[in-house]
Amino acid sequence: MGPIPCGDIHHLRLTVTDVGRSREFYTSLLGFQVAVESPPPGDPAEAETFKILFGGVVMVRGNLIMGLRPMAPEADRFDPDRVGLDHLSFSAPADPAGLREAPGVPGYPAPLPAVERRPGPG
């Protein structure tokens, strides 16, 4: 099997120490718009939403989706010699190389779920 075709960056998520401060930076200075926020503490949806948002926020700017995840210790600071990006996702064809049905794909013991197709950035 050859390389799996992929497009532009689809989304990324950053681990931050302060979601409020980071949210303000990305919305005020870089023009991101908040798409989804975690419910406040005590909200009945808090536990279920935490499984997806980890207490963070999802923002968009153009075709880029970016999440902020407040899982870093409060005193933690950026270090260029340490890994800091939570994950990076590329847009791809609906079913690259038939992987949705391929048994034994590393990390995917069951068929992959269907995904919503969106145009890539640009």
Of the listed ranges 19-33, 39-53, 66-80, 108-122, the one predicted with least confidence:
108-122
Residue 34 binned pLDDT confidence (cut-offs 50, 70, 90): very high
Based on DSSP, count helices (H) and strands (E) in the chain, helices before strands: 2, 5
Could you state, in order of their start, the residue ranges of all structural domains in the chain? 9-41+48-92
What is residue 120's predicted lDDT score, i.e. its pLDDT? 47
- CATH number for the region 9-41+48-92 comes to 3.10.180.10
Percent of the chain clearing pLDDT 90 (strictly above): 10
| Structural tokens at position 122 | 């640009």
Percent of the chain clearing pLDDT 70 (strictly above): 62
pLDDT above 80 for 69: yes
What is residue 89's predicted lDDT score, i.e. its pLDDT? 63
CB 13 within 8 A of CB 59: no
Going by C-alpha positions, the residue among 91, 113, 87, 89 that lies closest to residue 100 is 113
CA distance 2 to 4: 6
